[in-house]
């Protein structure tokens, strides 16, 4: 099996872009930003299971994004995310807050 096919089928995003350009939920059910778009809060879908049966939580999302942001891993998404995400935190079991590198309004 082609390596790129295998990698691209192992992960699902929090949200995706529909054909009309709007954001649609995938692993997140909703999201909200502050006024200057420097902070985004995502609410996760509950009951999502990994292949081993464990439930996905905000801690898993933070770990996954930190893994992508680590230059030693520099895999899929690193170039897109590392310039814009300053930090993130698991607010509660199903909520993740992303702190962006400045206002995203001009991007």
Dump the DSSP string for 46-75.
TT-B-TTSPBP-HHHHHHHHHHHH-TTT--
The mean pLDDT value for 89-103 works out to 94
d(CA 24, CA 44) in angstroms, rounded, equals 13
Q: Report pLDDT digits (tens) over 78-90.
A: 677 888 899 999 9
* Angstrom distance (rounded) from CA 70 to CA 49: 25
Token duo for residue 69: 């942001």
Q: State both tokens at 18.
A: 């529909």
Domains and their CATH numbers in the chain: 3-100 (3.90.76.10)
**Within its chain, how far is the Cα of 4 from the centroid?**
20
> Confidence class of residue 67 from pLDDT cuts 50, 70 and 90?
confident
- Model confidence pLDDT, tens digit, residues 23-55: 999 999 999 999 999 999 999 999 999 888 999
């Amino acid at each position: 099996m082609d390596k790129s096919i295998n990698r691209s089928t192992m992960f699902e995003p929090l949200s995706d872009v529909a054909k009309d350009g709007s954001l649609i939920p995938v692993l997140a059910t909703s999201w909200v930003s502050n006024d200057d778009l420097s902070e985004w809060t995502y609410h996760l879908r509950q009951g999502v299971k990994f292949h081993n049966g464990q439930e996905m939580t905000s801690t898993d999302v933070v770990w996954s994004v930190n893994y992508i942001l680590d230059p030693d891993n520099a895999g899929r998404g690193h170039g897109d995310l590392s310039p814009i995400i300053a930090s993130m935190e698991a607010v509660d079991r199903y909520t993740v807050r992303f702190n962006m590198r400045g206002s995203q309004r001009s991007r």
